[in-house]
Structure 1
Amino acid sequence: MQRRVAALVALLVLGSVTAGTVATGGPSTAALSVEPRNGTVSQLDLPDGNVSTEQQTLVDGDLSSTLATDRERLLMSIDAGGFERAFQASPNRSSRIETVQRTLDAVEIESRELRERRSEAIRAYTQGEYSTTELFRKLARISASASGIRERVTAIEATVDRSEFSMPPDVAARLSSVEAEVVSLDGPLIERVVQTTRADRAPGRFSLQTSADGIVMGTVDGETYLREATDWSARAEMGGNEFGTDGTLVAVHERAQSVYPWAFQNLVSNPSISGFGDSPIYPVRLNHAHGELETYFDGRTTDVFFEVQRLSLSSLPTTTVASERNGSLSIELTETTKRGLVAVDIVDVDTDDPVSATVTVGNETIGTTGANGRLWMLPVADSTTITASAGAENVSVTASG
C-alpha cells in the first residue's frame, strides 16, 4: 500500500539531506512540547503546569483485565471474518468497492470512538474518578481494540490481494490511512501492561503522568528504559497539511531535525520517515547513540503528538545527586536528568567492591543491586528516603532536588 511506498521514497529522498543539520526554515513556528535534555535525546513532555497526576504503580496479573482484552480481540476477529464473506459474495466490482468503503466507514468511526474513550478515561482519572488499576484496565481494553483494528485492516488487504482485485487509488489510500487513526492507542507500554495482566510478563513498576491533554508512562526493563508519551494538544482533527504536497518527506525530515537535534547529530543509522496513505501523520524512526526513537508528527500542527523511546541506561549521562556511608556500606544516587531515572550504587568502602543489596523506597522493596552493585529505578520525589540492606548492615540516603 501507499504507506510502504512512502517509506521507500524516504530512503531515496533523504540521501540528499545532510543528517545532523538543524533546519532553520520549517513549516511551522508553533511552540514545542518536546523538551531538550542535557547531553541526550529530547523527549516529549506534557506542557508545563498541566500535569495533574504523577505517581508510580506496580502492575501484576489481573484476570478480569485479561478476560476483557480477550473479548475485545475476539469481537474484532469476528468482524474481519464478516468482511471477507461480504466481499466474496459481492457480485461485481462496484459492489466490492462499496463493501470496502462501508467497512472503512465503520472502522474510522470505531477509531474515533476509541480515541475519545481513551481521552475520557484519562481525564476521569486525573479528576479522581478512577484508580490507577481501573485506568490501566480501561487502557488495556482500548489497546486490544486498536490492535484489532490493525488486524482487520491487514485482513482486508489480504482478502483483496487474494482476489486479485484492484482497488481505486483513493480507496487504497484511505485503507492505508486507517492505521494512523489508532496511533498512540496501542503503544509498547500499554502492551506490556496487557502482557503483565495476562501473566506473560513478571510484575513491573510503571511511572505515570497524566493531564487533560495526554499521558506519559515509563518503565525500566533490565538495562533499558522504555518511555511512551502522548500529547493530544499537538494533534488536530482538521486543517491542511502544513508539510505540503511536494517534497513532503523532506519537510518532515527537516522538522524532525529541528525538534531532535541531538539525536540527528548522533545517528547510528539513517532515519526512516514514512506516511499512512493520504493521512497527514508521519512516523519518524531512528537509532542514535543512546537508543531508539520512534516519533509521530501531525502535518496539521507540524508537532509531535506521540513518541516512544528505548534508551540504553549504561549509555546515558548521569550526575551524582546524593551519597551516604554507614559502617562498611556506601550508597550513591545518580540521575540521568533533573527528576530523571535514578541509579543506586552500593559499594563496600573497605574493599571498594560492589555489593548486592536489597533496595527499598520508604517501606516498599524496589529490587536488588545485583552483582555489579547497581540498580536502576524510576524517578523519586525530593525528600524520599532510599535504603539499601546487605546482611545485617544497611545504609540510607535522602533524595534531594
Structure 2
Amino acid sequence: MNNAMPALLAFLLVLSLPAMTVVAAAPDGERVDGSAAALQQELPYETAPVEAENTTNRLPLTGDVRSEHTDYGSGLGLVFASADDELRLDHEQYTLVDDEFDDATTEQQAAMVQQAYERINERADELEQREREAVRAYAAGEQSTNELLQTLLRNHKEAAMLADTLRDLEGHASRVSGYSLPADYSDYKALEYHRTPLRENLEALTDRPTRGSGLGVTVSASQTGYSLGMMDGDQYLVETARFDNRDGTDSERLQHSDAYDYTGELYPWATEDGPHFQDNSPDHYWAETGHDQGRLDFYFNSQTGNVYRETQELTAQSLPVTEETTGSSDGLELSINETPPAENVNSPIEVTVTDQATGEPEQATIIIDGIEIGKTDEDGSLWIVPTIGQSELTARTANGTVNATITS
C-alpha cells in the first residue's frame, strides 16, 4: 500500500475527530502617510508592542495575568491522544479515499475536494477556538500549566497534518478537469499560526522523551491572551498571542502599501532593513524579519492594525542590559542583569553568582518562588525567563544562599 497521505485525508480526519473542548502610544520611527498614520494615532497603548531601545519591541499581556514556571515533560495524555489520532488517520485513508475518489465522476471529485477544503478551514477555526478556551481556563485557574502546553502542542501537531493534507488536496484538485481549488497562502498562514519554534522544542521532547528530561517554560496568560517564554541554550524563545487584538471591526481595511509602512511603526528597530511581508486577505497581514539579535515574525489585523501574534528568537547575550541589581549574603555575591522591556512581558534575565571575597564563579542552584529553575554554568551564570509580576529568587550553593526580589 502507498503510505503517502491522500488528498481527502483532511476531510476524513476532521470528520472523524471531535473538536476538543478544554475545561499606542506609537513607537518613534519614520512618519507614514494616509490610513497607517491615522491608525497608529488611534491605537491605545495596551494594544501596541511595548517600546524598547536597541532591541525589538515586544507584545505585552493585559488584564489579570497568571504566570508560572514549569518543567515540561512528555505527558501521557498527549501521547495517547496523538496515537489515537494517527490510528484514525491510518484506518480512514484507504477505506474511502483510494476506493471512491478515483472511481468518482468529475463532478463528484470536484464536490469531494471542495468539501474537504471547506472542512480544513473549519478545522483551522476550531484550532483557534480550542486555544482560546484552554488559555482562558488556565488564566481562571481551571487548568495546569502542563495541560495548557499540551493543548497548544496538540494544535501544533494537528496544524502540520492539516497543512500536509491541504498540499495533497491541491495535487488532487489539479487532476479534476474544470475545477480550481480556492486555496492560497492565507490558508497555510492560518495553520502556521499554531506552529512556533518554542513548540518545536516541546514536540521534540514529546516525540523523543528522555528519562528525567524536561524543558523549563514560563507560562503567562490572562483572559485576553497568553505568552510562553523559554531559554534554548543561549537562545531566548517567546511567543505571544492577543485574542482581543485578533478580532476585527467594521472599519476600512488598511491597504497593502500602508500596511507595509506600518510594520516600521510597530517594530522600528527590528524592521530597519524592511521585513518579508505577506498580504493574507481579507483579515490579516504577516511580516517576518531577521536582525542582529535574531528573528521576529508577527501577524496583525488588517482593519485595526493590532498585532495579535508575535514570535521571537533572540540571542540572550546580544540583548542590552537595562538594569543591574546586586546583593550579597553568606559570602556570595549575586548579580542580576535585566533586559528590556519589563512591563507584562516575559523578558530574560542573567543571574550570576560569585564568591564575594575572590570574585570566582560559584555553581549555584537557582530557585524562583520555591521552584528549581536550573544551575549556573562554569562562569557562575544562568539565563532564565522569570514569571510576570514579583518573584523571590534564591541562589543556593554548598556554602550558603543569597536572595533577591525580581519584578517584571
Q: For the superposition of Structure 1 and Structure 2, which TM-score range results when normalised by the shorter chain?
A: 0.7 to 0.9
User: Structure 1: 5+ residue runs without aligned partners?
Assistant: 1-19
Partner Cα separation in structure 2 for residue 108 and residue 84 of structure 1: 23
1:222-371 aligned within 5 A: 222-236=233-247, 242-244=253-255, 248=256, 250-265=257-272, 267=273, 270-276=274-280, 278-326=281-329, 329-337=332-340, 338=342, 340-371=347-378
Partner Cα separation in structure 1 for residue 81 and residue 163 of structure 2: 18
* Partner amino acid, structure 1, of 2:277: I
Q: Does the CA contact (< 8 Å) of 1:76 and 1:152 recur in 2? A: no
Is the partner of 2:400 in helix, strand or coil? strand
Residue deviations 1:309-366, cap 9 Å, x none? 0111001011344212346532211111336322111233444343333323354332
- TM-fit CA distance, 1:96: 3.6
Change (3 A) 1:175 1:25: closer
Q: Does the CA contact (< 8 Å) of 1:72 and 1:148 recur in 2? A: no
Q: Does the CA contact (< 8 Å) of 1:226 and 1:310 recur in 2? A: yes
Q: Does the CA contact (< 8 Å) of 1:80 and 1:155 recur in 2? A: no
Change (3 A) 1:125 1:357: closer
- TM-fit CA distance, 1:393: 2.2
- TM-fit CA distance, 1:251: 2.4
Residue deviations 1:165-224, cap 9 Å, x none? 6753xx33x354322433533333334333333344741111112122211111111111
Change (3 A) 1:179 1:76: farther
Q: Between Structure 1 and Structure 2, how many residues are aligned?
A: 365
Residue deviations 1:106-146, cap 9 Å, x none? 11222222222221222222222222222223333333222
- TM-fit CA distance, 1:78: 6.3
Match of 2:228 in 1: 217
Change (3 A) 1:74 1:227: farther
* Partner amino acid, structure 2, of 1:396: V
RMSD over aligned Cα atoms: 2.9
Partner Cα separation in structure 1 for residue 48 and residue 86 of structure 2: 34
Partner Cα separation in structure 2 for residue 232 and residue 77 of structure 1: 34
* Partner amino acid, structure 1, of 2:286: P
TM-score, normalised to structure 1's length? 0.80
Q: Does the CA contact (< 8 Å) of 2:68 and 2:145 recur in 1? A: no
Deviates more, 1:56-65 or 1:221-230: 56-65
1:36 aligns with 2:44: no
Q: Does the CA contact (< 8 Å) of 1:242 and 1:302 recur in 2? A: no
1:88 to 94, 102, 107: 102
Is the partner of 2:289 in helix, strand or coil? strand
1:2-401 aligned within 5 A: 21-27=30-36, 28-29=39-40, 30-31=42-43, 32-47=47-62, 50-73=63-86, 75=88, 86-92=100-106, 94-160=107-173, 163=175, 167-168=179-180, 171-172=181-182, 174-200=183-209, 202-236=213-247, 242-244=253-255, 248=256, 250-265=257-272, 267=273, 270-276=274-280, 278-326=281-329, 329-337=332-340, 338=342, 340-380=347-387, 381-382=389-390, 384-389=392-397, 392-401=398-407
After the TM superposition, list the runs of 4 or more consecutive aligned residues in structure 1 that deviate by more than 6 angstroms.
Answer: 77-81
Q: Does the CA contact (< 8 Å) of 1:290 and 1:315 recur in 2? A: yes
User: Structure 2: 5+ residue runs without aligned partners?
Assistant: 1-28
* Partner amino acid, structure 2, of 1:373: G
Partner Cα separation in structure 2 for residue 181 and residue 78 of structure 1: 27
Partner Cα separation in structure 2 for residue 330 and residue 144 of structure 1: 44
Q: Does the CA contact (< 8 Å) of 1:333 and 1:343 recur in 2? A: yes
Q: Does the CA contact (< 8 Å) of 1:283 and 1:297 recur in 2? A: yes
Change (3 A) 1:83 1:155: farther
Partner Cα separation in structure 2 for residue 121 and residue 145 of structure 1: 16
Is the partner of 1:40 in helix, strand or coil? coil
Partner Cα separation in structure 1 for residue 405 and residue 329 of structure 2: 16
* Partner amino acid, structure 1, of 2:58: Q
Partner Cα separation in structure 2 for residue 182 and residue 273 of structure 1: 17
Percent identical: 22
Q: Does the CA contact (< 8 Å) of 1:180 and 1:279 recur in 2? A: no
